[in-house]
Amino acid sequence: MKDTNIKRRTFLKGSLAGSAIAVAVGAGLLTPSTVMAAWPKDAFAAKSVKDVMNNLLGGTSTAASKDIKIKAPDIAENGAVVPITVSSSISGIESISVIAEKNPAPLAASFNLAGSTQGYVATRIKLRK
């Protein structure tokens, strides 16, 4: 009898949670655009570094900085899974993007950061060369 009560409670909790989500979707409070991350579609579809930078930043000007550190292997064991780390000591960083010039789609990753976030990302990307 006790096992039946636990199953019934679990079912009721699941039903109530599902109903609450259905009501939120029906009321327009929960839409795909509000729960999905921002995605710079044009930048990821770009075929050149210049187009990526224009789509992401609105320009192509760059400047060298000693405050930005990129850590990646000289030779990767597997080009499909290359670990890369980008860190910066610059305060107030808004985003970090990883561009692989020789890839068919150069933009490998793009991260939007909150104002007080440390400028650090670690990911794995696919590299052609």
**69-125 pLDDT, tens digit each:** 999 988 888 888 999 999 998 888 888 889 888 888 898 888 888 777 788 999 999
**Residue 16: exposed, middle, or buried by beta-carbon count in 10 A (0-12, 13-18, 19+)?**
exposed
Compute the distance between CA of residue 93 and CA of residue 84 in angstroms, rounded to an integer: 18
Compute the distance between CA of residue 72 and CA of residue 98 in angstroms, rounded to an integer: 11
User: What is the token pair recorded at 103?
Assistant: 């890839």
Q: What share of the chain is helix, strand, coil (3-state, %, to 5)?
A: 35, 20, 45
Which residue carries 């909150």 as its tokens?
114
pLDDT tens-digit series, residues 37-76 = 667 788 888 899 899 888 888 888 888 889 999 999 888 8
